[in-house]
Amino acid sequence: MLDNFEGRHRNLLRIFETRAAEMEEAFRPHAELNITQRYLIGAYFLHEYSFEASALFNPSIVRHPDQSGAPENGCRFILSLRAVGEGHISSLTFRSGTIAADGSVAIDPTARLASVPQVRSKTAGALGYEIEVEFRPDEELSERVIFPITDSQSNGIEDARFVEFNDGERKRFYATYTAYSGRAIRSELLETTDFQSFRLTPLNGTAARNKGMALFPRKIDGRYAMIGRQDNENLYLIYSDDLYTWNGGQAILQPEHPWEFVQVGTCGSPIELDDCWLLFTHGVGPVRKYSIGAVLLDKKDPSKIIARSREPLVRPEPTEREGYVPNVVYTCGAMRHGDQIILPYAISDTFSNFATLKIATLMQAVTS
């Protein structure tokens, strides 16, 4: 058995022993087992899962918390992606890479192994469990997989929208994502400072019952702010005092152009520019065709729309429209780097690509 599997997994015997310990209560009373027998029992209650076998899509991007080794006038980044495997189960996976001064993107080589974190705590609350998980330091970023843990996530952790949040005292990374049980959805929040340990918490309130929530990167007038879609059609601006409870909201963006007549949604957290907020949106048009547009929001009052794109900035090309879900381009978050926007996006829910846009050119496209 070790000859067959040891090269495919890190610390395989430790995994076997951990699984045997988890199964202990399921066994009938038995004589004490030696370590080899426990390894074997653990192996019988395991199976491999190819978590990216079907699709790898809906990326979001943030600056890496460790900028050592970044190129001159460039930076390192972390890319999160939604991975889908057998049974249409979605998990959260990661890549790292660099952005050069000219905006060109390079992805670091990926690990050939995969690892899931240890659950450090599981605390019951009114809406379910708050979970704290941690990966080992020797497990590379690209092998770290956050797989569904709770019942509410059992069919997927979907479309994480990461944002680097700075409140003047500490810097953290948050991601809103959709927890899907196979029957119901809800919004949850992931928090981390180092992408090694994470906390996953259900969100409360009427505004958290839908998907597609995206957090602003800082407070506005002393309150947390979120863009979300509560009615499957329009975008709302929502405020909260405690980050975990989101109620009400003000509709600020409705479908207007043919390419977004079915619905509009967020494509990640708003990006702060010098004079306004830049919000990438997705629009759904005829034959469920998804395209990416943009909206400019007032810096002090994001409920005010300054401008919006009349035509999509990115749309499915005829040669790239076939895939896991056809006719879709989609992103869960872009990033500013100097005078440029780095936009990762998925094509037909199958693979992901990057676009680099000059902010000046983008502003002209949106306001013209």
- Summarised one tens digit per residue, pLDDT across range 258-272 is 999 999 999 999 999
Q: How far is CA 266 from CA 14, 100, 193, 229, in A?
A: 42, 27, 24, 8
Give the separation between CA 172 and CA 185, rounded to whole angstroms: 25
Number of folded domains in the chain?
2
Same domain, 274 and 292: yes
User: Is 171 within the bounds of a domain?
Assistant: no
Comparing 6 with 272, the larger pLDDT belongs to 272
- Looking at the domain assignment, is residue 192 inside a domain? no
Same domain, 215 and 232: yes
> Do residues 274 and 325 both lie within one domain?
yes
124: left (phi over 0), alpha (psi -120 to 50) or beta: beta
Q: Where are the alpha helices (DSSP H) in 113-246?
A: none
Residue 78 clears pLDDT 90, i.e. is over it? yes
What is the C-alpha R_g of the chain?
22
Most confident of the ranges 1-5, 163-167, 268-272, 323-327: 268-272
Residue 125 predicted with pLDDT over 80: yes
Note the pLDDT of residue 98: 98
pLDDT grade, residue 112 (50/70/90)? confident
Q: Domain check: are 111 and 15 in the same one? A: no
Using pLDDT thresholds of 50, 70 and 90, give the confidence band for residue 82: very high
Separation of first and last alpha carbons in the chain:
64
Residues 334 and 285 in one domain: yes
CA distance 263 to 251: 13
pLDDT band of 279, cuts 50, 70, 90: very high
Residue 138 included in any domain = no
Tell me the whole-structure pTM to 2 decimals: 0.94
Cα atoms found within 13 Å of the Cα of residue 44, Cβ hemisphere only? 11
Q: Is residue 30 part of a domain?
A: yes
**How many Cβ atoms are within 10 Å of 49's Cβ, its own excluded?**
15
Whether residue 309 lies inside any domain: the answer is yes
110 and 10 in a common domain: no
In a shared domain, residues 225 and 286: yes
Q: What is the pLDDT of residue 322?
A: 87
Give the pLDDT score at 67.
96
Domain holding 73: CATH number?
A: 2.115.10.20
For the residues 289-306, what does the mean pLDDT come to? 97
Range of the domain at 30: 4-43
- Report whether pLDDT(110) > 90: yes
Q: Is residue 303 part of a domain?
A: yes
Residues 35 and 69 reside in one and the same domain? no
**324 and 243, same structural domain?**
yes
Same domain, 350 and 253: yes
> Which residues are CB-neighbours of 87 under 8 A, at least 6 positions away?
none
Any domain includes 313: yes
- Looking at the fold, whether 35 and 61 belong to one and the same domain comes out as no
User: What tens digit of pLDDT does each residue of 91-100 get?
Assistant: 999 999 999 9
Asked if 324 and 55 count as a contact pair (C-beta separation under 8 A), the reply is: yes
Per-residue pLDDT, 345? 97
> pLDDT at position 20, please?
95
In a domain, 180, yes or no: no
In order of 95, 150, 258, 317, 324, the CA distances from 88 in angstroms are 21, 17, 31, 25, 10
Residue 30 has pLDDT above 90, yes or no: no
Closest CA to 134 of 112, 153, 149: 149
8 shares its domain with 75: no
User: What distances in angstroms separate CA 251 from CA 150, 217, 260, 359, one per listed residue?
Assistant: 32, 20, 16, 27
What was the pLDDT predicted at 315?
A: 94
